[in-house]
Chain A
């Protein structure tokens, strides 16, 4: 066994407190990139067994959403434990003691790029250097996760009111900018299993919304008591237009099969409030599309409570489809 190089308690104390080490800002002493990313992944609980997050299954029953604050002391201990690998003596301890503050502040910044790298995007040129914020998030266990795994999840630092105007107006643009400014960075949004979704946000949200994914919006018809089907008129941006509903023709051979070609011909022949010019399947789809449901969770107290889900009556689908230049460019691109 190696004899201890420092035995005097006073000398040992000095060794532990005197920081005769290189600053963390010095490249030679910064963490290797792999180590830094591993520890940053731990910060947002990537790889931590689910039992440690939810120690009892009754804490996350079926069809429930649970909002939480992330205990930063817990994730700091997680990082301490990871760094403890290979720590065999006072030298390693002294090194960790001297560097821990720098490691912690560095990871506070690095945890913000984990999701960017997970998505395969380039790291931001000017990373956010602001000090660490409170992390929050939610766990959602529901059949909605199974059926709509790609739902759009956003958190906002202020309550963004629902917008119910013309999607092509400047007001809609302003609303979108205000919403983007108030949006909190999503640090993690991942399926832990087929029916469990974990989200972690950088900050304390006042409003969280989950919206049905745009590539999975349903095609819904209005039915009447006599089993006839009707369709609302939609403009080029997908908004509902005034005017009588369009009766949906069905096949003579099967009353529940939509006569698609006939429906398109009728839409193309419509007079009155404008519908999308029927140039092809995209314009046809806009007429059939329903609106995505946007579930809002908002509250003003420390616990987040649900309000009634607000129905988004207007949203923007491609107004570009009618623009001939764009469609030429797209044909070339594809």
Chain B
């Protein structure tokens, strides 16, 4: 299951738990070394903390929400939900690490509880007037004292909190099992989404609320933290009004149980010790007693508002769109768009005079042909005059200037362009040089210029140049200039014979040394005695030869000793 869902599909998971819950951890590494019977243990302890969002959820982690923030629409039939881009977030902390919430009682015959990890967050929907949102209050004021202690008494934490009637909160707040059912993970295909979504992995955690907002009510959905709130979270779901027998009497309207008359309110949490000063006279019946209802506060991680009024669902919004090609205006002539999509705008020309010109952006209502007159080297080249109006069309000149400004704002791009040009100039110079050489030397080059520029050119030129020099030079026969010497008058046997009146030139040649080699004649090398190929074994077996060698060596040593005199050290054997 490593392939993302195909287009149009999504996968749902019950939960996604991180490898480690948030909290402080101690890591102990221990080893034991035994050496020669004795054993010794070593251990090392280190501490680390896994920290995640705890008292506030940053807006960046909220991928999206439903109903949309500040949205208006018929949301009274839908359950609000929040989509978190961090898929493990609802399961990163433990709801009740102290185990204060008792195990739920399962009625006989009911299916067993799913046994999933319990989220520590819940999404609650409040209507306007039911709640007070307190911004940036100290944590001590947001939770009861014992909860604050169980949270570890973190210092200097300020958070947002929501305050509401205790009875209302009790009537909304999910029980432990309901919390499990109200959060899940989705894995969706992100191929055709805008970039923030398309760059992600497609995993999202979804937390659903359990309350349907009333029609035309302004509501606020609040993601609250329930960590250590064993005073509020119930193990067993509250009683159900059976719709098969009709809804319970107060359930027809959205009336919490606490709204029954105050005189039957069971066990008011506290009452004012003094009756209120302003009483209405005459007093009929029992005196009025002001009974404030208890309020509870919950840490609000994030929240948003919406109104159940007007058309505002995705379907309604998309159906009511004004659909047209670009350049269609509701009120024709405002703006005064030409039928080609050009818009007249004011421009200051070079002289400072104001001038009306045409402009059209890159988004056009027609399929245009591509201008093949490019490239353009300055914006003025791209200015045009429309014959119908005589006014100038600066669309492409404006595009040119935008491109130039965007590029000039990026120093790295300027460097890249310079490098691109420099590289090309260098290659251009090489190409010119090679071309000039090829005109003069018979270079063996690859067929195309591109391949030529990739060929190591130096050896080719070297070879060609050498060959060219060698072809025009005389043969290299008389290394020592003997031919010139022999050309001297005194070295010619025939001239010598006639000058000295010798009997023949042979005699003169003898007088000159008679060595044919010195006179440049070809001297054949002395004949080599041929030897049969032999082996090491055969050499070792030739004792007579080895004896001769030993004798020659002994003679050489003796000669050396004689030459060096008697003081010479005796050569060690086997030298």
Contact = CB atoms under 8 A, between A and B. Distances in A.
Contacts, number: 517
B208 A147 contact: no
B107 to A, nearest CB: 9
A17 interface: no
A12 interface: no
Given A85-B417, A91-B425, A251-B239, 13 more contacts: A29-B423, A74-B399, A78-B399, A85-B407, A85-B408, A119-B198, A147-B317, A257-B211, A259-B237, A265-B111, A303-B325, A309-B319, A320-B1
Interface string A242-278: 0000011111111111111110110011000000001
**Interface residue SS majority, chain A:** mixed
Contacts of A253: 167, 170-171, 238-239, 256-257
Contacts of B248: 252, 255
A70 B363 contact: yes
A124 interface: no
B326 A139 contact: yes
B464 to A, nearest CB: 22
A293 to B, nearest CB: 4
Chain A interface category by residue count? 35 or more
B181 A262 contact: no
A256 B441 CA distance: 96
Contact of B370 (A54, A72, A228): A72
A119 to B, nearest CB: 5
A149 B208 CA distance: 19
Contacts of A204: 367
A87 B327 CA distance: 36
Contact of B212 (A84, A153, A256): A256
B384 to A, nearest CB: 11
Contact of B320 (A63, A139, A297, A303): A63
17 contacts: A26-B450, A38-B416, A52-B398, A67-B326, A74-B399, A77-B397, A77-B400, A82-B407, A150-B194, A150-B196, A152-B193, A189-B198, A254-B168, A255-B251, A257-B171, A261-B177, A280-B180
Contacts of B170: 253
B148 interface: no
A100 B374 contact: yes
A268 B111 contact: yes
Interface in B376-399: 376-379, 382, 395-399
A134 B368 CA distance: 9
Interface in A22-43: 22-23, 25-26, 28-29, 31-32, 34-35, 38, 42
Contacts of A284: 181, 184
Contacts of B375: 80, 83, 96-97, 100
A186 B363 contact: no
A85 B192 contact: no
B7 interface: yes
B114 interface: yes
Nearest to B177: A261
Contacts of A76: 370-371, 374
B69 to A, nearest CB: 8
Contact of B241 (A249, A305, A320): A249
Nearest to A144: B317
A83 B378 CA distance: 10
Given A81-B403, A280-B180, A303-B365, A58 B334 contact: yes
B79 to A, nearest CB: 4
A190 B195 CA distance: 6
Contacts of B247: 226-228, 250, 255
Interface in A209-258: 210, 212-216, 218-223, 226-229, 247-258
Contact of A281 (B182, B193, B395, B423): B182
B77 to A, nearest CB: 5
Interface string B307-350: 00000111101111111111111110011010000010100000
A93 B377 CA distance: 7
Nearest to B253: A255
Contacts of A80: 374-377, 382, 400, 403
B502 interface: no
B295 to A, nearest CB: 17
B424 A99 contact: yes
A281 B14 contact: yes
A118 to B, nearest CB: 6
Given A22-B424, A63-B321, A215 B417 contact: no
Given A96-B377, A189-B194, A213 B240 contact: no
B420 A35 contact: yes
B376 A229 contact: no
Contacts of A64: 321-324
Contacts of B244: 247
A21 interface: yes
Contacts of A260: 174, 177-178, 181-182, 210, 237
